[in-house]
Every structure is written in structure tokens, then in C-alpha cells.
Structure 1
Amino acid sequence: MNYFQLEAKVVSRGAGRSVIAAAAYASCSRLYNDYDGLTHDYTRKHGCLYSEVFLPQYAPEEWKDRQLLWEAVESVEKTKDSRLARELVVALPSELSLDDWKSMLKRFVREQGIDLGMCADVNIHDPYPPGHNPHSHILFTMRPLDEHGKWQTKTQKEYLCKRGGEERGFTADEFKTAKTQGWEKQYMYQFGEKRQYLTPSEAEKIEGCIRTSKTPKSTRYGRQNPLTALWNSEEQIFAWRKSWEMIVNEEQERHGIADRVDCRSHAARGLTEQPTVHEGYHARKLESMGIVSDRCELNRQIRADNKLLRELKKQVQKLMKAVKENIPALASALETLRDNMIFLQYQLIVNTSQQEAVTSQKNLLADILAEYKNVKAEFKAKTAEKKELIAEQKNCGIHFIRASKLGEQIAALTEDIEELKFQKAGLLSQLNCQDNGIAARKQNLKKMENALETLEQQRAALSEQKEADKTEFLEIRDGIAPENMDAVMQEREKLRPDGRVGLVRKLYEKYKNKYSSATFDEANRQIDAELKEQPIQKKKRSISEQLKMPKQETPQPKKQKKKEYER
């Protein structure tokens, strides 16, 4: 096992998920969800080797049955966006046995879940073919238990109380003591046209002050249970990752396996390679059906880039050992590093172009969606205002002047509403959708934001590698004795044509018909300027040299109809 994976997700109703469904999938079993009346049957799914529920000290023993455990979780959570469980997906070392996996997972859930008061549902999957992707699904509860085995609250109402000029939050129990110390709850009062939160003692001093609400002023989200806050913190996720890293490495060391895993990111470890993205079941399913998945295609590209970078690094390392005062080796090392930098600079130019294109589309789409949101909100407000005025006009009775003024206001609002309808229709036309298609456009915007984030990560990795190559290049060039400089340059001139052919071939293999000779020339120019080198005049190639160059196909692209918001 030479990779680390611990993916932490939340099973939430707000995302349309059910913990009963998640538990049924993880255990390859059939479970019934009383909350929505659905039965989730995954008994036909293969590859589940082990399933067990682990409980903390105070949990009811009957919760060993996962049906009862997750029913209890579903029933205690009342809101439509409740967070039901924390799901961890961890990769298991393929070199170890099922018993080893069980031992590792039992230790992990005991130290990082059960001892903290969580219930844990642990399942081991080893899908076909065996050994290619062993992993575990772990479901942790997210609501603490008290010493009587009852669920604790995740949050408590926190009242914003006042004493003098000071404001402080108290729970209901805390307020009983705070009240004796002079703290008062605040309520909404109205005096004249002004509405304001006041304490009862403050309201008594204001003439004509009327209390308009029975609900005291409170914090928006209440006070979170300290245990819940801990379990939902980034520190807890890092603790899980660090603990799993330690358990895996200790187990592999015990079995004499040299491989070690590291829970840190590539950036934290100082690696220049780009990390791959998680593909997931659906992406691999599409690939098995012969459909190219964006995630799988991105990973293939990342692996190809990383492989090429590793090969280039090996070449540079070999050349660095032989450089010293060997003129051919010095020239070869410098040309190899220069070619590496041109290869990376070409990718940076393409990356910049892609970022600019996606940013332009994203900004345009975001502006249209923002304007649509404002128009829709204004339309809703004016429609509601018009309804209120119509209702008021009907009740005017003999107050004809008032009715006439209201009629004028209604007519003006009607014109405004029609104008807003026209604006809304225009915006929908630009988006090329109806009202029910706005959600899809927002998803498109999110995809563009994700694409920009990926491009920025790629840009950072490419820039870092280019800077490393530049540093090596300058160290070698600056270390050449002045009397050898002309000889090294002559040797580099001999190597340059073949290096150019090989570099163009690599770029063509990577970009196919999207390869651009103009971009290649620009990358050459930029690198020469960065290295402060005079470009070598290109000699006319012989027929045999021209045949070595890959032919660039330039098919005429089909004209595609632009989307409305791109015009």
C-alpha cells in the first residue's frame, strides 16, 4: 500500500441522504427507514466481508442491531436538513489479511470514536477483483449520549441578556442564576414608528412603549454542545487522519512491509507531483460502459504528467552526476533543463488561456444569475405590495380620495411589474432556460468555479517545478569556467535541433490536434528571456530532419451555436 485515503463526509438530509440508506449500502443489507417509509435493499451487492456495530459505555445494548441504532438516530433528528452521521471511507493495505484489517479498524474506532462517546458501524469492502481496492465504510453518530443512554441536544437556545450597557448570552439553566445578578432578557418593543430590542426595565422608562413579541432576543444558532463542536471540528478530522496513518504504518512495520503512508497533502510534504482526484463508483461505472468520465480523464492526464515529470527529474539527476567539467555533459544538462522549462512554460500558457476563458464565462454567468435573483426578488416584493394595496382599496368604502390615490399606486406598480417580467424574460433568454432551469445554471457556475480551482492548483505545481529547473540551470551555467563557456555553447547548438524535435513530439502527444506551434515559439521566447539567453538562429532543416517532426493536423472546427449568455 503506497497511498493514503481517509475521506470524511456528512450524511445529511439537507443533501437528500438517509443514514438508513448509507448503513444498508455499507453493510450490503436490507434496512427499512421509518422516517420516509422507504426500504433500502443492497443484499445483491457483493464484496462486504465484515460488518459490526460498536457502542460506547452508556448506549443501549439493543443498538448492536444497526436497524435499531440508525432508526433511533433518524427519529431523534427532526429537521429536514439534520446532520445524521459522519461517514469515513478509509483505504486498507492490500498486503494484509482480513483479520489484520479487523484489528486495525477496531483499534481505530475505539480510540477515535467509542472512547469519545460515538456509536460506530464498521464495514469492510473488497470488491471484485479481490485485492484491487479494499476499503472500509465507518459510520459515526453525531449526537452525544448522556450517562442514562439518552441523546443529548446538539445546541441549546442562548438568550442575549442585558445588564447596564453589557450584553451576554445565557442558556435557560444559566439564566436562572444570571437573573438574580441583574441580567434581563430583551424583547421587541415599539414606540412610535421605531422598533427595538429592550429589557422590561428599559421599556418602562419610555412612554407609549409596547411589547410586540413574546420571543426573547437570542443568538442565531444557539450554543453548540461542546462534544458536538469537537466532533465537527477540523482538528477532529486531522486527528482521525493522523491516527489512521499511525495505525497503518505500525501494522505494516509489524509485518515487515517497507511501504509507509503519510496523511499530509502533497504541498505539505513538499512534493511537486499533482495529486489525483477521487473518482468514485459512478465515474468508474461510466468508464466500464465505454463512456469517458471527466474525473477519470483528469486522473489519466495527471498520471501522465506526473510520469513525465518523474522521467525528466531522473534525466536531470543522472546528468547532474556527470556534469562537473565535462563539456558535452554540461551542454546536455543545460539543454535538458531548458527543454523541461519550455515544456512547463507551454503548459502554463495553455493553463492561463484556459483560466481566462473559464473566468470570462463564469463572470458573465454569475452576473446574469445575480441580476436574475435581484429582478425576481423585486418582482416578488412589488407583487406582494400590489396585493396589499388592492386589498386596502377594497376596504376604502366611501373614502374615494384615498381609493383614487391607491389606484394610482396600483397602476404604477402594475407598470413596474410588467417591466420586471420583461427583464426576467430577457435574462432567461440569455440563460437559454426557464425558471426550473436556474438550478442547472447554478450547477454550471459551481463546475466552473471547481474547474478554476483545479487549474490554479495545476498552475502552482507547474510554476514550482519550473522554478526548480531554473535554479538548477543557473547553478550549472554559473559554475562553468569562463574559458569553457564558448565550447559549451557550441555543443548546445549541436544538441538544440534534436531536442526541439523531441520536445515538439512530447507536446504533440499530450495535446494532439490542439498543439500550437505559435504557443511553442512563445514558450521558447519567454524561457530564453527568463534565462537571459540569446536565441540560437534556426538553421534550415534537411528533408530527413523535417520527416522526424510530427505533422500537425488542423481540421476545420465545426461552428457551434453560442449560448445566449456568451453573446
Structure 2
Amino acid sequence: LERVSKYPKSTRYGRQNPITERWNSEEQLQIWRKNWADISNKYLELAKSESRIDHRSHKARGIDEQPTIYEGISARIIEKKGGVSERCELNRQIKEDNHILREIKKRIKKLTEAIKRTLPAAAETLEKLRSTMIHCRYVINFADKWKNAKTAEAARLKIHCDDYSAIITELKSKISKRKQKQDEKAKTPPIKIFRHKELTQAVNELSEQIEELRTKKNTILANLNTNNIQTVKTKLNDIQKAVPVMERHSNESKTKLGNAQKEYAGLKEQAQEFDTEELQNLRYDIRTGIESETISELQKIYGGSFIPSIYETAKSNGADHSAAAGGTQSRYGCNL
């Protein structure tokens, strides 16, 4: 056995003795995780399951996708009842970012090869990449709209929570004072008429103030549509945690969009060997179908949260970029 010092040295986890420091270290955590994964995989193999567990992080495994967060049973209950959980919404955004990243990689690889072969293939690959850019813009616009709305909601909830806390503090103080006055009155001899009267008046005034505070408290709860302020504090905490994450994903999607735009411009330049008008007309002929697929994908991902106006804005911006990237007018009079 090793003797534990009563005067441990300071570490990144606080003041710990060496034994506790080793037990609570990142290295020990990785050992525990590996052992857990090895045992789990052993039983998965015995069960003849093809699934395997990898305890390493995405970064350690060379995966550039973002991991989802833990949702919890409360979030799943909210979703089951038809509501929108902040955590589930955040996971949908993360999955969407990962979906776009995989699609961009897959399409870029195929597009470079396909663009060199046939005119119809060139038209299809360019339209699909345009669809990817629209997809990216939708994610960015949705995330920004969500962030702005939730930031405003969080500010409103915080004001109500702060007011509620102040009222509760004052209410407890008034109740305590009233109790003191009531106790003093009970101990005061009846012969002291004037003191009895003063204490009675003080108790009555405090009772009125207490009722006013309770009314204010109930009004705040009614405005928040809840009977329990803790649910509001939990929601506020979830929003405050989710906003910076959504902000980060919005920035990541902007980077992905920039990469897709560069790839689009490069492929458009390669396609100059084809008849420009014929290529643009072919693209326009298949555009409606590809846009419908994009809308279906977004509706599948966002469900009831899908907003058509955001999609139209994303599509409009996408068309602007296509024109800027060297588009010409087709026989339909549209910049592509």
C-alpha cells in the first residue's frame, strides 16, 4: 500500500494526492474505455453480430464528422409529445452537417470523373453540386435563424427567472418577519394593549405584502406557461449551451459551402469544352427533379421544423452564385 499525503500537490484537477491524480487522469480514462470496448466487442462477436465498438474519439480515428450529443429521456419525451427539444434539434443539425460533408466528398469524387465523359453527365453533376450548395445554405440560414430566435428567447426567460428569484428571496424574508411578529405578539401580555395593536398592524401589513408577492410570482409562472420554474431554468440552460454549438456548426457549414463553391467553379471551367447553351438547357431540364430531391431530403431531416421560405432564400442565393461563377442565359431566359 502507498501512504496518501495530507498535503497533496496542486494539479489541473485541483489539489490531489498522486494516487487520486493517476486514478483521475486522461490516460487512465482511455485504459478504462479500451477495456470496456474490448469486453463489449468480445460478446458482440460471441453473439455473431457484425457491429463493433470503437472507444476512440472521432479525432483519434481520423473522422472529421461531428459527434452527436447525449439527448436524455426528457428530450425524447418532449419530441414524442410533438414538441421540439433543444438537444434533439441540435443533434438533427449535427447529423445534417455530417450528411452534407459526406455528400460533398462523395459528389466531388464522382463529379471530377464524370465531367470528362458526357454532356448529360456534366449537366447532372453540376446540378447536383448546385443542389449541395443550396443544401449548405439552408443549413446555415436555418442555424442562424434558430440562433437569433433562441438568443432572444433566452434573454426573455432570463429576465423572468431573475425576477422570480428576486421575488422568492423577498417573499421568504417577509414570511420570516411575519413569523417573528406573530411570535412576539403571542408572548406579549394582553395588558400591553398598544404593543398588541402595533404588532397586529405589522402582521397585517406583512400579510398583504406577502400576498402581493405571491400574486407577482404566480403571474410570472402564468406568463411562462408553467407551474414549475425549474423547467424554465432547465430550458434556459439548454439554450445557453446549444447556441454556441449551433453557431459553430453554422461556421463549419460556411466553410463547407466555400469548398463546394470552389469545386463548382472548377468543374464549370472544365465543362467549357462542351456546347455552353446545350449544357445549360440540359441542366435546366433536370433541375426541377433534383430540387425536389433536395427538398425531400431537408424535410426528412428537419421534419416539422422545415421552413420553405428559408429554402427559397437558399435557392435564390445559389442561383446568384451560379451566375457569378460563369453562367449564361439558357433558351428559358434563366441565369444558371
Shift of 1:460: 4.7
Q: Secondary structure at the match of 2:111?
A: helix
The normalised TM-score by structure 2 is 0.63
Answer whether contact 1:345 1:523 (CA < 8 A) is retained: yes
Q: Give the one of 311, 319, 327 matched to 1:520.
A: 311
- Give 2:293's aligned amino acid: R
Aligned equivalents of 1:501 and 1:260: distance in 2?
39
Aligned equivalents of 2:281 and 2:291: distance in 1?
15
Aligned equivalents of 1:394 and 1:334: distance in 2?
88
Structure whose alpha-carbon radius of gyration is higher:
1
Shift of 1:449: 5.0
Q: What per-residue deviation string (whole Å, max 9, x for no partner) do you get for residues 279-303 of structure 1?
A: 88x79x99xxxx9xx8999979976
Q: Which has the higher contact order (CA 8 A, sep 6+)?
A: 2
Answer whether contact 1:362 1:449 (CA < 8 A) is retained: yes
- How many percent of aligned residue pairs carry the same amino acid? 29
Q: Measured at CA, do residues 520 and 364 of structure 1 come closer, stay the same or move farther in structure 2, by a change above 3 Å?
A: same
- Give 2:283's aligned residue: 495
Shift of 1:511: 0.7
Q: How many residues align?
A: 308
For 1:437-452, list aligned pairs within 5 A.
437-449=228-240, 452=243
Answer whether contact 1:332 1:492 (CA < 8 A) is retained: no
Question: Which ranges of structure 2 fall in alignment gaps of 5 or more residues?
Answer: 9-13, 42-51
Q: Give the one of 104, 107, 110 matched to 1:315.
A: 107
Q: What per-residue deviation string (whole Å, max 9, x for no partner) do you get for residues 257-299 of structure 1?
A: xx99572335x7674534345688x79x99xxxx9xx899997
Q: Give the one of 237, 249, 271 matched to 2:29.
A: 237
Aligned equivalents of 1:327 and 1:476: distance in 2?
13
- Give 2:216's aligned residue: 423
For 1:47-446, list aligned pairs within 5 A.
58=1, 224-232=16-24, 236-237=28-29, 240=32, 263-266=56-59, 271-277=63-69, 306=98, 309-321=101-113, 323=115, 333-391=125-183, 412-434=205-227, 437-446=228-237
Answer whether contact 2:108 2:263 (CA < 8 A) is retained: no
Shift of 1:366: 3.6
Q: Give the one of 459, 470, 479 matched to 2:250.
A: 459
- Give 2:218's aligned amino acid: A
Shift of 1:230: 4.7
Aligned equivalents of 1:350 and 1:365: distance in 2?
22
Q: Secondary structure at the match of 1:263?
A: coil
- Give 2:45's aligned residue: none
Shift of 1:317: 0.9
Aligned equivalents of 1:459 and 1:525: distance in 2?
19
- Give 1:525's aligned amino acid: S
Aligned equivalents of 1:270 and 1:373: distance in 2?
47
The normalised TM-score by structure 1 is 0.41
Answer whether contact 2:154 2:240 (CA < 8 A) is retained: yes
Shift of 1:248: 11
Q: Secondary structure at the match of 1:343?
A: helix
- Give 2:292's aligned residue: 504
Answer whether contact 1:341 1:527 (CA < 8 A) is retained: yes
Answer whether contact 1:335 1:495 (CA < 8 A) is retained: yes
- Larger helix percent: 2
